Amino acid sequence: MNAQQVTEEIAEIAARAEKHADASETLDALRAVQGEVFGRKSRLSEIKKSLGSAPGDVKPVLGKAIGAANKRLNSIFAHRKAELEEQAETEMLEAERVDFSLPGRRHQRGRRHPVTRVIDEFCEIFFGMGYTIAEGPEVETDFYNFGALNMPKNHPARSDYDTLYVDHGGAAVDHGVARESEVLLRTHTSPVQIRVMESLPPPLYILAPGRCFRQDTVDATHFPTFHQIEGLAVDRGLTFGDLAGTLEQFTRQFLGASAKIRLRPDFFPFTEPSAELATWWEGRWLELGGCGMVDPAVFEAVGLDPEEWQGFAFGIGVERFAMTRYGIDDIRHFYRNDLRFLEQFL
């Protein structure tokens, strides 16, 4: 082994490594160069390994050369590493710079759906008359939707409601004949009357807004999902006059002082007498819902004495009411999710 030659080679390796280190543009590239120079299979490692078997006079010379090269290379790599780290940090700060002078991005503000808005305003007026809100489930049982409302099985009035039944596996069988499920989507908000009277003692003044479902064919005034607002008052000595006065007061507040209501005899199994509520709007009468005095059979179903308590109830179609209020000609507009329609309601 020629000490002179190897010393020169070590100096060359160091000079080449310095060039490559300086040319490295990233920390990864620098690490790769470092690996090549100091790696186990590198020429420098080979020389280091051969040091053990080198002749006695060559050993100190080579040892010194290797030590010097190591020192030089370590300082070169450390220096370049510091430079690249600083550069990376500067780039990151630049990329993440926040420009405080940029105008902010505005949040798009939503607004209440006209149906929600009518319900809110409706409730507001009745709060003023001392009413509170009650709620019931949208998936009901036959008992609450029909039975307790004086519509036993096979009652002809049931056919007025195109009911959607819920199939949850166990088909009911009556005298060998399969019949509809006991579970259904409520066809009106009237079952809430029963739930309230079962759980709270009178006097009661409650309002129950909510979604109802019927298998109705879609047209300008029918939709399979729609909303009703139920009202129920139970107290001593209530009369039909109280019902008429309440509805008139409400309509005036909602539609204006000149608004007129019309109550015409109607039939609902759960009220007696019953009436159809209509309002005068742009030259014609519009039917809004039904109402009447709570039928004694309903009081009996919930364990209230009909001699002691009287009551009135009403159920109003929210979409139809909103159509009257805003001059909307087709119920389908409410559910098309067309912003051009919805944005007209502040």
Q: Which residues bind ligand FA5 (CB under 6 A)?
A: 188, 190, 214, 216, 222-223, 226, 228, 268, 271, 274, 287-292, 313-315, 317, 319-320, 331
Which C-beta is closer to ligand FA5: that of 83 or that of 216?
216
- Least Å from the CB of residue 274 to ligand FA5: 6
The region that residue 338 occupies, defined by phi over 0 for left and psi between -120 and 50 for alpha, beta otherwise, is beta
- Least Å from the CB of residue 193 to ligand FA5: 7
- Least Å from the CB of residue 174 to ligand FA5: 26
Q: Which two tokens stand for residue 83?
A: 């430079």
Which C-beta is closer to ligand FA5: that of 70 or that of 221?
221
Which C-beta is closer to ligand FA5: that of 34 or that of 190?
190
Which C-beta is closer to ligand FA5: that of 90 or that of 215?
215
- Least Å from the CB of residue 177 to ligand FA5: 27
Contacts 24+ apart (CB under 8 A), 322-328: 322/114, 322/115, 322/117, 322/118, 323/221, 324/255, 324/279, 324/281, 324/286, 324/288, 325/118, 325/254, 325/255, 326/114, 327/282, 328/114
Closest CA to 182 of 146, 225, 224: 146
Longest dimension (CA), the chain: 127
- Least Å from the CB of residue 271 to ligand FA5: 4
CA distance 271 to 257: 29
DSSP secondary structure string for all residues of 181-240: -SEEE-SSSTHHHHHHHHHSPSSEEEEEEEEEE--PPPBTTB-SEEEEEEEEEEETT--H
3-state secondary structure of 153: coil
Q: Which residue is nearest to ligand FA5 (CB)?
A: 317
Angle at which helix 318-326 crosses helix 114-127, to 10 degrees, equals: 100
Which C-beta is closer to ligand FA5: that of 181 or that of 190?
190
- Least Å from the CB of residue 95 to ligand FA5: 56
Which C-beta is closer to ligand FA5: that of 68 or that of 255?
255
- Least Å from the CB of residue 176 to ligand FA5: 33
Which C-beta is closer to ligand FA5: that of 36 or that of 272?
272
